[in-house]
């Protein structure tokens, strides 16, 4: 599976941003188990597509599963609300069924959010993030961009300076503590001078290229294009979100864990039409990235096949590519 060419990652940052806001928002505020389950599965599948199953398995095994267990255990230990008393602890506090269930739901929300953030990191790269921030606040985006330029430069210089001081016999690892303080001070002073010097050069370079020299307002360029495909994608996100929200407002996705568990379709309330509409819309929403990835892959296969039919390749070649 190729990880590099992800159709959703290649679409406009605003589409990416809208999608993640919608999905994360729904997952965090609508605590219906159906939504959480759909969200978790979609996030894991998309995460595997983007980063590989090893990465996701490691994340799940090392971080998410233990985290989920801790939260699920800790919640009933501190939260004693709920009507179904299971047993009373030694210190007199009661453990309730509702608290346990709520703990599990909280833990699931945590897991869902973490998994989605793996995808956010892979899709909403740094420059897209700068762009999204820069739409309403152009100055902030310039500052962000300059910081992203400066931070690696600073870290590199810091590393080089430490090494150079080592060459001069000032090695942190072998020094006594008072020598360490001295070395740290001289590295800090060197870095300070360097930063000031760098700032002067950058400011000269900015002014020489007209920064602050024009009366007109600065514009903000981005290499992203807003085309029909992005409009369609954004519409899908908006419509599906609207449908899920409506379903939620209509009570189809009601979920309450305290003091009584009322979850439509599972306990305390029966499932209605809105439950299925809401869950369906959300399932579609959460799988938009996978869906367009699959459609694009299918489109490419059709395209390849059409080339083969065109004649230059043999029939075996055609059969092979069909099997692929």
Between 78 and 221, name the residue whose CB sits nearer to other proteins. Answer: 221
Between 15 and 130, name the residue whose CB sits nearer to other proteins. Answer: 130
Q: Where along the sequence are the contacts to other proteins (CB under 8 A)? A: 126-127, 130, 142, 145-146, 148-149, 152-153, 156-157, 160-161, 163-169, 171, 173-175, 186-187, 189-190, 193-194, 197-198, 201-202, 204-214, 216-223
Between 20 and 194, name the residue whose CB sits nearer to other proteins. Answer: 194
Tell me the closest approach of the beta carbon of residue 144 to other proteins, in angstroms.
9
Between 190 and 321, name the residue whose CB sits nearer to other proteins. Answer: 190
Between 58 and 126, name the residue whose CB sits nearer to other proteins. Answer: 126
**Contacts of 119 by beta carbon, 8 Å cutoff, 6+ apart:** 20, 43, 46, 47, 50, 289
Tell me the closest approach of the beta carbon of residue 288 to other proteins, in angstroms.
24
Tell me the closest approach of the beta carbon of residue 57 to other proteins, in angstroms.
19
């Amino acid at each position: 599976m190729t990880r590099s060419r992800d159709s959703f990652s290649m679409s406009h940052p605003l589409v990416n941003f809208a999608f993640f806001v919608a999905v994360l928002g729904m997952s965090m505020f609508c605590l219906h188990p159906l939504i959480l389950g759909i969200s978790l599965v979609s996030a894991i599948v998309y995460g595997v597509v983007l980063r590989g199953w090893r990465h996701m398995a490691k994340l799940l095994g090392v971080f998410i599963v233990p985290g989920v267990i801790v939260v699920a255990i800790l919640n009933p230990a501190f939260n004693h609300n709920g009507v179904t008393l299971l047993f009373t602890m030694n210190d007199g506090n009661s453990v309730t069924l509702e608290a346990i269930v709520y703990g599990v739901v909280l833990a699931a929300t945590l897991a869902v959010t973490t998994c989605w953030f793996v995808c956010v990191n892979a899709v909403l790269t740094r420059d897209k993030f700068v762009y999204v921030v820069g739409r309403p606040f152009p100055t902030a985006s310039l500052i962000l961009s300059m910081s992203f330029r400066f931070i690696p430069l600073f870290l590199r210089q810091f590393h080089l300076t430490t090494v150079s001081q080592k060459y001069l016999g000032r090695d942190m690892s072998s020094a006594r503590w008072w020598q360490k303080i001295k070395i740290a001070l001289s590295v800090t002073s060197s870095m300070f001078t360097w930063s000031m010097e760098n700032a002067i050069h950058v400011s000269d370079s900015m002014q020489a290229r007209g920064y602050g020299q024009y009366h007109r307002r600065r514009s903000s360029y981005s290499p992203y294009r807003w085309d029909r495909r992005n409009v369609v994608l954004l519409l899908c996100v908006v419509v599906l979100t609207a449908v899920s929200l409506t379903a939620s407002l209509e009570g189809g996705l009601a979920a309450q864990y305290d003091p009584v568990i009322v979850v439509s379709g599972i306990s305390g309330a029966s499932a209605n039409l809105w439950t299925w509409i809401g869950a369906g819309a959300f399932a579609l929403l959460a799988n938009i990235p996978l869906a367009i990835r699959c459609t694009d892959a299918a489109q490419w296969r059709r395209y390849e096949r059409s080339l083969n039919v065109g004649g230059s390749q043999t029939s075996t070649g055609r059969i092979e590519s069909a099997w692929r």
